[in-house]
Amino acid sequence: DQQVKQNSPSLSVQEGRISILNCDYTNSMFDYFLWYKKYPAEGPTFLISISSIKDKNEDGRFTVFLNKSAKHLSLHIVPSQPGDSAVYFCAASSAYGNKLVFGAGTILRVKS
């Protein structure tokens, strides 16, 4: 049973436009959410996170939005750059553990 779902396997965006990556979760105990980026043949690297007490967190071109009632979060990248082309993983954790539960990932392609 997938507790964290990324329903879009891939997304293609033109350079300079906005990329929106979506993530849904089912476990209401999750209270911390993270986004990771992964290039081929490299390990995932942390991008941005959000606590459930917030509904938005911004870091440069990256913004994460959290809608707790809908159990949905999204990552916005503005403006998108070719170097943003990678696999993006959504992950969630609860206060009761040190573990992360990851989604299946979304492949983002930014075309120049």
The contact set with another protein (CB under 8 A) reads 6, 9, 32, 34, 36, 41-46, 49, 51, 89, 91, 93, 95, 98-105
In contact, 64 and 81? CB cutoff 8 Å: no
CA-to-CA separations, 61 to 18, 31, 47, in angstroms, rounded = 10, 24, 11
Choice between 70 and 95, CB closer to another protein: 95
The C-alpha atoms of residue 107 and residue 88 are separated, in whole angstroms, by: 6
| Cβ 13 to another protein shortest distance, Å | 21
CB of 22 to another protein, least distance (A): 14
